[in-house]
Homo-oligomer: A and B are copies of this chain.
Amino acid sequence: MKRVKPREVFIGRLSHGGDLLEEITDICQRKNIQLGWIEALGAVQRARLGFYNQETHKYEFFTVDQPLEITKLVGNVSLEDNSPFVHAHITLADKRGNAYGGHLASGTVVFACEFILEIFDGPMLKRDFDETTGLSLWPMADS
């Protein structure tokens, strides 16, 4: 793990009808945020989620095609190929309160979403291919 230094905090909301993952990514790219942590709540018109198959090392994507509350979005921002990259997971609930979740994929449409985005200075965390998991992960070495 790396010791990082808080730089700025932003609180705001996303546009109705926007793509949840793309809106967050867009903010991070416009502001060139290289290291950050994001939390959010709200609602979506529909969700597209990923589940990482730990055997095939491939994401399996699926859609939950109904309005859902976002009971929690958590994600981070770091560098992949020298560009700000957002990795987020989301928990959702339907009208009966049943909860769903997974890796947030493009295709999740915002109804309303309020977020906090903390930005850090410090040693950059660059994602690199990890053979064991097949994922693009941060280095392990302590700082």
User: Which A residues fall within an 8 A CB radius of B?
Assistant: 1-6, 8-13, 15-16, 27, 35, 37, 39-43, 45, 49, 51-54, 60, 62, 64, 67, 69-72, 74-76, 87-103, 111-112, 114-117, 120, 122, 125, 130, 132-133, 135, 137-138, 140, 142
Flag if A41 contacts B9 (CB, 8 Å).
no
User: Among A114, A130, A133, which residue has the most Cβ atoms of chain B within 10 A?
Assistant: A114
Please indicate the chain B residues that have their CB under 8 angstroms from the CB of A49 in the complex. 93, 97
Specify the main secondary structure of chain A where it touches its partner: strand
Flag if B138 contacts A76 (CB, 8 Å).
no
Flag if A39 contacts B74 (CB, 8 Å).
yes
Complex Cα gap A10–B2 (Å) = 5
